[in-house]
Structure 1
Amino acid sequence: MGPVLTTNARVMCVHGGQVTLAPRQGAVTAAGAPVLRETDLIGAPIVGCAQPPTVSSKPCTTVVAVLPGGSAPTVSVGGLPAHVASLSGITDGVPPGTVMVVSPGQTTVVA
């Protein structure tokens, strides 16, 4: 599956906006940073999206969904699957944008 994501990860929208990572747990860490798990990215703010606001477009401001394949079915944190580097998702941009992992934040723990 790939490296487990931590709060040190870089997750960005397709237009260059940075997803603000805020885990809902802090007990499980990898390389000193909390591990991200399912539900941690839903609703996460996006800062700096370069999509211009027009009559037919809007910048990405929030992650609205995470697509299947972005979590490790065999690694759980507090009862929820951990996110991994293959994560991708959808934003609230118009047209909808995507988010992708640029860096997992650590490479020691692999699911």
Structure 2
Amino acid sequence: MPKVLTAAAQLVCAHQGLLTVRASTAALTAGGSPVLVQADILAATVTGCTNNGPGLKPCLKVTAVVTGQSRTLTVSGQPVMLDTALGLTDAVPPQPVLWQVRSAGQTVLEAS
């Protein structure tokens, strides 16, 4: 089973920029950190993206969550995010997957 993402998770864009994600609720924690819900990911910003040059635009914000929402675990009516999460950013040119999970931020809680 996939791990649940927490505020301590590490998410990166395809160009190794770091996503800054803040948990909107502390109603559920894992390993001492609040879990992340889909809205938290959609509000994320990106720093350190190396997609620079003529005709290119670096990743600055998340624009979509493509997959990785839990089917069984919710917080405040929103699906909890899993370490299988993938999504898109505002980079130019766009690519099929522009952000992914490097680390879930915890090793205790799993969901499907």
**Residue matched to 2:64:** 65
Q: What is the CA–CA distance in structure 1 between the aligned matches of 2:27 and 2:37, rounded to whole Å?
A: 12
What is the RMSD of the two structures over their aligned residues, measured on CA atoms? Answer: 1.1
Contact 2:21/2:43 (<8 A) preserved: no
Say whether residues 1:20 and 2:20 are aligned partners.
yes
The structure in which a higher percent of residues are helix is 2
Gaps of 5+ in 1: none
Give the TM-score normalised by structure 2: 0.92
Q: What is the CA–CA distance in structure 1 between the aligned matches of 2:63 and 2:43, rounded to whole Å?
A: 6
Say whether residues 1:36 and 2:63 are aligned partners.
no
Give the TM-score normalised by structure 1: 0.93
> What CA deviation, in whole Å up to 9, does each residue of 1:40-61 have, x standing for no partner?
111311010011142x110000
Contact 2:21/2:44 (<8 A) preserved: yes
The secondary structure found in structure 2 opposite 1:39 is helix
**Residue matched to 1:51:** 51
The Cα shift of 1:92 comes to 0.2
The structure in which a higher percent of residues are strand is 2
The secondary structure found in structure 2 opposite 1:67 is strand
**Residue matched to 1:89:** 87
Q: Aligned partner of 2:29: which letter?
A: T
The Cα shift of 1:81 comes to 0.8
- Shift >4 Å, 4+ stretches: none
Which of 77, 80, 84 pairs up with 2:78?
80
